[in-house]
Structure 1
């Protein structure tokens, strides 16, 4: 099958037989031994940025009462790739997990979704079966109590955030980046706002990422103009 063909490669040294592709990155030492460096599939590029999944997993594993953790890039909505973390142990609040990682990693390396599992799925040979990890419930993006938007600007922002982030209901205390936003979507949001005659800029969104705060600073910018 496809997986067998991907893992068992033709032997270029002997011209016959097969070599098994382990996915491990190693280097030769001066004494001829091989030293393990890392998994070759632990490094990915997301929105042009290089991300070490193993580094995220290690930092997440330091959170109190987490037993095991793994992180991968998923594209459950076409064209919308997200970092998703899976972990076992005691369930934790998403906001607490994000804060823990933000204290040690750049924001682009912090997963948008955290999924608690009783156990990580394993293949018959005892290794992590990434393909068996369940698709996350996008409703888990919400980590703040819902409160309806107030005023025209907040309602316009809530509608646009919902369309861009594929979130059904956006409240005034919701955080753009906690809902799955990133720099490219932020630029798209500014373009959409300007099409509707609302002046805004990306820097303000990064400084005031909750809906009511961003609405407030956007209204102040319009008053200055």
Structure 2
């Protein structure tokens, strides 16, 4: 066991989820190869340790020897601008940060997870920043933060979708009868 994290998931009822070291290591190894060192150079850490996104924001940069830029709350960027290369958050928080004018212009990568990603938000991010990549990440806490991902690069016409499985994992799509 690496850690226990509590989630309400789709039920709304809190439950503890046990995450093993091997799952966390797999996530970190995948991300270390999927994201360029320049993208991870100065990762924003604005998520509570009680939320699974913190595993990515805190442990990934430390595991590859890059910087973690800690702020108490994501919206603090609107009042206290800073240089970060990667922001990892949920779409609704990114919408609020964009509205407040707090997204650092020089951010190179924006990861969005936990809620559906719209094309309008992707377009708005590319217009407001120098980001070269917006990623749609998906996964329940039980799978150590992320299970699938899609990288949308500036200039591409890829519509946001769930993406493909991260390394060493598989995804099965089932119908209403729980059949493939």
**TM-score, structure 1 as length reference:** 0.25
Greater relative CO (CA pairs within 8 A, separation 6+): 2
Normalised TM-score (structure 2): 0.29
